[in-house]
Amino acid sequence: MTTGTRQTRPAQPTLELVAEAAGVSRATVSRVVNGSTKVSPEIVAVVTAAIERLNYVPNRAARSLASRQTQAVALVVPEDITRFFGDPYFAAIVQGITRRLDESQYILNLLVASSDPSHKTMRYLRSGNVDGALVVSHHTHDDFLTDIESLIPLVFGGRPSDHFGPNTYYVDVDNVAGAQVGTQHLLDIGRRRLGSITGPIDMPAGIDRFTGFQRTLEQAGLSADAVEHADFTAVSAAAAMRRLLERRSDLDGLFVASDLMATGALDVLREQGYAVPDDIAIVAFDDSPAAIGAAVPLTTISQPSAEMGFAMADMLLRLLTGDPDVPHRNIMPTRLIQRASA
């Protein structure tokens, strides 16, 4: 009987072997492989050299089966589809998110729905299709979001509603302070009869920007009663502007809670013979392409929307890698951009 010699296949390099060769921990190698920004460039270079030297190839399929990871995250937008594609704010947020995800192995799944009456979103998320979720443009009545938070890691774009707990993760700007700066600018250029078109009062951003407008006028001893609510669309703002002029035709300044809404208000003012800024000065919020492309370029409060998207995605990726040092909130700066409208 002949016996053959059984050939042994060379062992595939492992994460542990890479860590040993690079002189770092296994967790550090994992962070480099997953594109984490928490590792210094020097360590990334050392680990990358070890990976190339050992010909290490991350076994994504095996890792997904072992850890039940999908290498996908969801962007949940509780809005009407026409608003999502019509508002430049969303384009900037998505740009930032994808720029960060391009540095990792994760792909982005987009879920746009004004509500979840048939529970499709929840069924999709409960089925293990994504490892985590990002949420932008949420409303206080979007109760299904609390269920998402109990299923998977969740990061909000914008301060979450009050019924979420203090441990919720989010990226935002100080909308109250930004609105105060914008309103104060109108006062500083001599305007005293101010009105405002707010965002939806069932959204934290809409509430906070309205609060900033009110506080500034109260501190100046002026009335803040010339207010109409809209829904962050140009159409709703045009209707709000008409209602406002019916009540207060003597306005000389207007704070509008978004650039897109300000374009709707501007169209109505020009139709009715008001000159901007001579008769009514306008300050908006966002510093989006809508501000630059308006019939009268808009003075506006700039928020770094693309950078906010990047920071949201980075926060979520850090949560998914088990980083214990992820802050619960990241408040980014705003600034006044002066153009022709005020």
Look over the chain and give the mean of its residue pLDDT values, rounded to a whole number. 87
What burial class does residue 41 get, using C-beta atoms within 10 Å of its C-beta: 0-12 exposed, 13-18 middle, 19+ buried?
A: exposed
How far apart CA 197 and CA 255 sit, in angstroms, is 7
Tell me the fold of 175-302.
Rossmann fold (3.40.50)
* Per-residue model confidence (pLDDT) at position 1: 42
Identity of the amino acid at 41: P
Of residues 45, 43, 48, the one with CA closest to residue 58: 48
Task: For residue 5, name the pLDDT band (cuts at 50, 70, 90).
Answer: very low
Sequence-distant (6+) residues with CB within 8 A of 132 are: 73, 74, 152, 153, 154, 155, 316, 319, 320
- Which CATH class name applies to 72-173+305-333? alpha beta
Judged against a pLDDT cut of 60, whether residue 241 lies above it is answered with yes
Domain positions in the chain are: 15-58, 72-173+305-333, 175-302
Over 60: is that where the pLDDT of 209 sits? Answer: yes
pLDDT at 10 over 90: no
Between CA 326 and CA 305 the distance in angstroms is 20
Pairwise pLDDT comparison (198 vs 103), residue with the higher score: 198
- Do the Cβ atoms of 73 and 104 come closer than 8 Å? no
Cα dist. 246→34, 226, 239, 242, 263 in Å? 57, 11, 11, 6, 19
Which two tokens mark 58?
């991350």
Angle at 211 between CA 207 and CA 216, to 5 degrees: 160
Please tell me the distance from the alpha carbon of residue 43 to that of residue 28, in angstroms, as a whole number. 9
Tallying the residues shown for the chain, one arrives at 342
Determine the pLDDT at residue 63: 44
Helix 41-54 and helix 15-22: axis angle, to 10°?
A: 120
pLDDT given at position 52: 81
The predicted-structure confidence for 17-65, as pLDDT tens digits, reads as follows 888 999 998 878 877 876 666 788 888 889 888 888 887 766 443 444 4
The three-state secondary structure class of 134 is: strand
The pTM assigned to this predicted structure is 0.77
What would the mean pLDDT of 146-162 be, rounded to a whole number?
A: 85
| Superfamily the domain 15-58 falls into | lambda repressor-like DNA-binding domains (1.10.260.40)
- Measured CA distances, 279 to 193, 194, 243, 271, 282 (Å): 11, 12, 18, 13, 10
pLDDT value at residue 164: 77
Q: What is the mean pLDDT of residues 243-268?
A: 96
Note the pLDDT of residue 68.
Answer: 57
Q: Is 72-173+305-333's fold the same as 175-302's?
A: yes
pLDDT at 217: 98
The more confidently predicted of residues 299 and 6 is 299
What is the model's pLDDT at position 2? 42
Q: What is the mean pLDDT of residues 273-293?
A: 96
Backbone angles phi, psi at 256, to 5 degrees: -115, 135
Q: How far is CA 5 from CA 2, 9, 175, 177, 328, in A?
A: 10, 13, 73, 76, 59
Is the pLDDT at 67 greater than 60, yes or no? no
Mean pLDDT for the stretch of residues 298-325: 94
Residue linked to tokens 């095996």: 62
Per-residue model confidence as pLDDT tens digits over 93-113: 999 999 999 989 899 999 987
Tokens, residue 23: 């002189």
pLDDT of residue 114 exceeding 70, the answer is: no
At residue 249, the pLDDT reads 92
Q: What average pLDDT score do residues 210-231 get?
A: 96
